[in-house]
């Protein structure tokens, strides 16, 4: 069946569906709701919470009244009640509601409750005489584009389930489904779109997540095996790394030394190095990378150091040039804003072997870049790059060693899922002399005191970040939000200070220029959304203020906090928040007490857990449709057990695994095609 055969899908709607990535019936069935509204439980008014979406069963005291406020704007209001309390009900531009409501008749209302002590309001609720239709269910909500409504999606999916569900095949073989008590694919698809209750939803989602993660993990294992079977560069064991370590003016931490030892063993082993070094913000990963570069150079090979942005590339270029100058190691920078003559000169030096270390952005993987003898590839902040980029740059050498660095600390099981084709080294301690960032959780009433504190720090030669709250799913709101905050702060507190603004809707060149001004110290305060460059080293930035901090998870708050504390000076993180719930307050308290990224990551997983399953889903990996590698920790561990069993027993060659093999190959193709540049 074609999409165009579904009732209601004409030419225009088909075009919109295609733009949403829905090309065929299978795409439609696998276009899952991104969140759900639980409309299946009726609550007493007195038991509702502020900002809670719920169903209440009420009667109205009298017929609603409509007031005409101005042209094209009217407000219909009424008072409703149940056995526990009264509630004020209002509808904008829906005067016809008056004729639908009779006093002392039972109605069901669904909407967001506003509660101030024991005063209740509900605005523009769904009104129904029966607990059915759009009420009495767990209601699916899909991400849609203009031209397609949520109701359209529900109708289209219902039609597809009714007519095409029998065509769905189990990717995981029946024997595994039975052994591990996994829901079959047809039921899982049906129930993820229309769950009767939470348990049915959870069972359906569990099956779909397991399938997706098993495919991903097996694809990663397959790629790792094929990489290890290829030709490789084997370096000789010598004293080069010890020479480098002994030349340093500071002592390396135990974690750094262990990571360097892992790298040296890889580079001199019978297999190609494919290693991830994960370490907390400021743990000293760059010096570990320098040790690998020194080893590669001592054996006559070039190294490529790839960063996600020009600013980060420039910072790495400057630090590598300074650190390697005493050894005569020549470093060059290849970035997008070079003139043609500058670029030609750099390319010539790379091809001839004049340059030993090449630092750059994605420009390094372009076809026109030719290396003389590439032996080592380093990528910084791995989550900005896909496997495709790693492969493309690796193809420029004779299977060079690959080293990946990330400051996103994640538990080992998650790391294996994120980076399943890599071996992992972890640096879990900070260099000596680094001061702990002092973190404070305060309310909005502290804003003036915070502004005074920032001014004092700026007067003392320091800089500050001010991070704007995240507005999900609306770039325009985000822009309005950051602009409003910028205007208010500059108007009320910082009119005589050079303040910059950074947000997601700016052009890349504008973002680069704004960040450069801050890095160079021209801008003293940067008001930004969460697009602040990961890894940017602004040594004079010693204050970060995060507005509405309760909206962020612990891991993201820690990453933002890591923008400061880049020198021996004392740094500060101030979390301005409206934490109401126990969970929000606990998050703020954990941030105040804990500075370890790994500890925070574990606590984040424990706190967010399965309780968020009915909320918004963001996997962080574009190739994953439903799995969330941060929230689905238990399922990832279960998938790892199943994956290991399949792989160690060589079950993929069996006929019943043919559908799984097909999906593994598709995933591998997508991995290699996938290009992620934020």
Query: Which band of pLDDT confidence, cut at 50, 70 and 90, is reported for residue 419?
Result: low
Are 25 and 160 found together in one domain? yes
Query: Do 415 and 278 form a contact (C-beta atoms < 8 A)?
Result: yes
Compute the residue count for the chain: 678
Whole-number pLDDT of residue 359: 95
Do 45 and 30 share a structural domain?
no
Whether residue 330 sits in one domain with residue 418: yes
In a domain, 206, yes or no: no
Q: Are 12 and 69 within one domain? A: no
433 falls within a domain: no
Whether residue 447 is found in the same domain as residue 333: no
Q: Determine the average pLDDT of the residues in 452-478.
A: 79
330 and 463 share one domain: no
Choosing from 594, 626, 647, the residue where a domain stops is: 594
d(Cα 378, Cα 358) in Å, to the nearest integer? 10
Q: Who has greater pLDDT, 508 or 664?
A: 664
pLDDT at 24: 93
Q: What are the pLDDT digits (tens) for 94-152?
A: 999 999 999 889 999 999 999 888 899 999 999 999 998 889 889 999 999 999 999 99
Domain count within the chain:
4
Of the candidates 185, 137, 151, the one whose C-alpha atom is nearest the C-alpha of residue 38 is 137
Read off the CATH number of the domain in which 584 is found.
Answer: 3.40.50.300
Environment class of residue 212 by beta-carbon count within 10 Å: exposed (0-12), middle (13-18) or buried (19+)?
buried
Mapping DSSP onto H, E and C, the string for 201-239 reads HHHHHHHHHHHHHHHHHHHHHHHHHHHHCCCCCCCCCCC
The answer on pLDDT for 87 being more than 60 is yes
| Alpha carbon distance 386, 134 (integer Å) | 41
CA quadruple 17, 20, 26, 29: dihedral sign:
negative
The answer as to whether 613 is a domain residue is no
User: pLDDT tens digits, residue range 496-518?
Assistant: 999 999 887 788 778 888 988 99
Question: Do 462 and 573 fall into the same domain?
Answer: yes
Q: Which residue range forms the structural domain that includes residue 570?
A: 438-594
Q: Which residue has the tokens 């997983």?
A: 605
Task: For residues 509 and 403, state if they share a domain.
Answer: no
**Which of 380, 402, 427 is a domain's end point?**
427
Are 520 and 423 in the same domain? no
Beta bridge partners of 76: 66, 91
pLDDT of residue 471: 52
Residue carrying structure tokens 């590669």: 296
pLDDT at position 434 over 70: yes
Looking up residue 161, the CATH number of its domain turns out to be: 1.10.150
Q: Binning pLDDT at 50, 70 and 90, where does residue 420 land?
A: low
Domain membership of residue 653 (yes or no) is no
Does 462 share its domain with 478? Answer: yes
**Of 577, 594, 611, which marks where a domain is finished?**
594
Q: What is the pLDDT of residue 415?
A: 59
Contacts of 199-202 with CB under 8 Å at 24 or more apart are 201/36, 201/138, 201/613, 201/614, 202/610, 202/613
pLDDT score of 535 more than 70 = no
Query: 244 in a domain, yes or no?
Result: yes
Which of 114-128, 306-320, 584-598, 612-626 is modeled with the greatest confidence? 114-128
Please tell me whether residues 313 and 449 are part of one structural domain.
no
Asked whether residue 665 is domain-assigned, the answer is no
Q: What is the pLDDT of residue 418?
A: 56
Measured distance CA(399)–CA(375) in Å, rounded: 8
pLDDT tens track for 226-267 = 766 666 778 888 888 999 999 988 889 999 999 999 999 999
Better-scored residue on pLDDT, 656 or 311: 656
In whole angstroms, give the CA distance from residue 454 to residue 452.
Answer: 5
Residue 639 resides in a domain = no
Judgement on whether residues 354 and 308 belong to the same structural domain of the protein: yes
Is the pLDDT assigned to residue 62 strictly greater than 80? yes
Question: What's residue 367's pLDDT?
Answer: 77
pTM of the model: 0.64
Q: Is residue 480 part of a domain?
A: yes
Q: pLDDT higher for 411 or 193? A: 193
Q: Residues 227, 232, 236, CA angle at the centre, nearest 5°? A: 140
Question: Which of the two residues, 471 and 445, has the higher pLDDT score?
Answer: 445
């Amino acid at each position: 069946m074609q999409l165009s055969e579904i009732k209601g899908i004409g030419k225009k709607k088909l075009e919109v569906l295609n733009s949403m990535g829905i090309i065929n019936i299978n795409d439609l069935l696998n276009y899952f709701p991104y969140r759900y509204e639980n409309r299946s439980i009726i609550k007493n008014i007195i038991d509702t919470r502020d900002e809670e979406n719920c169903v209440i069963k009420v009667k109205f005291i009298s017929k609603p009244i409509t007031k005409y406020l101005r042209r094209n704007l009217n407000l219909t209001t009424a008072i409703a009640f149940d056995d526990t309390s009264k509630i004020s009900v209002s509808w904008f531009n829906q005067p016809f509601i008056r004729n639908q409501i009779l006093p002392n008749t039972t109605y069901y209302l669904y909407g967001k409750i506003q509660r101030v002590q024991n005063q209740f309001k509900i605005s523009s609720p769904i009104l129904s005489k029966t607990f059915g239709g759009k009420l009495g269910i767990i209601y699916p909500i899909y991400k849609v584009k203009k031209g397609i409504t949520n109701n359209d999606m529900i109708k289209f999916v219902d039609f597809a389930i009714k007519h095409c569900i029998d065509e769905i095949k189990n990717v995981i073989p029946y024997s595994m489904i039975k052994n591990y008590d996994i829901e079959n694919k047809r039921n899982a698809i049906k129930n993820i779109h229309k769950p009767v209750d939470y348990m049915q939803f959870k069972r359906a989602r569990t099956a779909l997540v397991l399938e997706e993660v098993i495919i991903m993990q097996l694809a990663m294992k397959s790629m790792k095996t094929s990489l290890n079977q290829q030709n490789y560069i084997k370096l000789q064991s010598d004293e080069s790394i010890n020479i480098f370590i002994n030349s340093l003016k500071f002592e390396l931490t135990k974690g750094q030394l262990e990571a360097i030892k892992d790298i040296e063993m890889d580079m001199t082993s019978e297999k190609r190095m494919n290693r991830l070094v994960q370490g907390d913000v400021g743990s000293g990963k760059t010096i570990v990378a320098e040790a690998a570069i020194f080893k590669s150079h001592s054996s006559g090979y070039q190294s490529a150091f790839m960063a996600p942005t020009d600013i980060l590339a420039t910072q790495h270029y400057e630090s590598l040039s300074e650190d390697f100058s005493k050894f005569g190691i020549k470093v060059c920078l290849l970035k997008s804003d070079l003139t043609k003559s500058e670029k030609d000169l750099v390319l010539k030096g790379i091809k001839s072997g004049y340059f030993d270390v090449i630092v750059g952005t994605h420009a390094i993987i372009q076809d026109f870049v030719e290396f003389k003898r590439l032996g080592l590839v380093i990528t910084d902040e791995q989550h900005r790059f896909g496997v495709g980029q790693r492969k493309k740059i690796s193809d420029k050498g004779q299977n060079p060693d690959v080293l990946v660095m990330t400051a996103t600390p994640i538990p080992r099981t998650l790391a294996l899922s994120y980076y399943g084709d890599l071996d992992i080294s972890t640096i879990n301690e900070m260099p000596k002399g680094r001061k702990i960032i002092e973190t404070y959780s305060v309310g909005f009433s502290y804003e003036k005191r915070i502004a005074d504190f920032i001014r004092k720090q700026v007067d003392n030669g320091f800089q500050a970040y001010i991070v704007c709250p995240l507005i999900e799913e609306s770039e325009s709101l985000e822009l309005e939000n950051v602009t409003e905050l910028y205007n208010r702060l500059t108007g009320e507190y910082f009119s005589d200070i050079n303040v910059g603004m950074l947000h997601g809707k700016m052009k890349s060149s504008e973002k680069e220029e704004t960040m450069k001004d801050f890095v160079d110290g021209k801008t003293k305060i940067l008001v930004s959304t969460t697009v602040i460059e990961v890894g940017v080293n602004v040594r004079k930035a010693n204050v970060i203020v995060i507005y509405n901090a309760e909206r962020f998870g612990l891991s993201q708050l820690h990453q933002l906090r890591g923008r400061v504390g880049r020198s021996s000076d004392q740094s500060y993180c101030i979390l301005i928040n409206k934490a109401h719930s126990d969970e929000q307050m606990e998050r703020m308290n954990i941030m105040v007490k804990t500075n370890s990224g790994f500890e925070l990551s574990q606590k984040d997983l424990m706190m967010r857990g399965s309780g968020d399953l009915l909320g918004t889903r963001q996997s962080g990996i574009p190739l994953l449709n439903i799995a969330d590698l941060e929230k689905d920790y238990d399922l990832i561990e279960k998938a790892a057990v199943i994956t290991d069993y399949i792989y160690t027993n060589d079950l993929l060659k069996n006929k019943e695994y043919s559908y799984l093999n097909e999906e593994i190959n598709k995933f591998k193709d997508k991995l290699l095609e996938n290009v992620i540049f934020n």
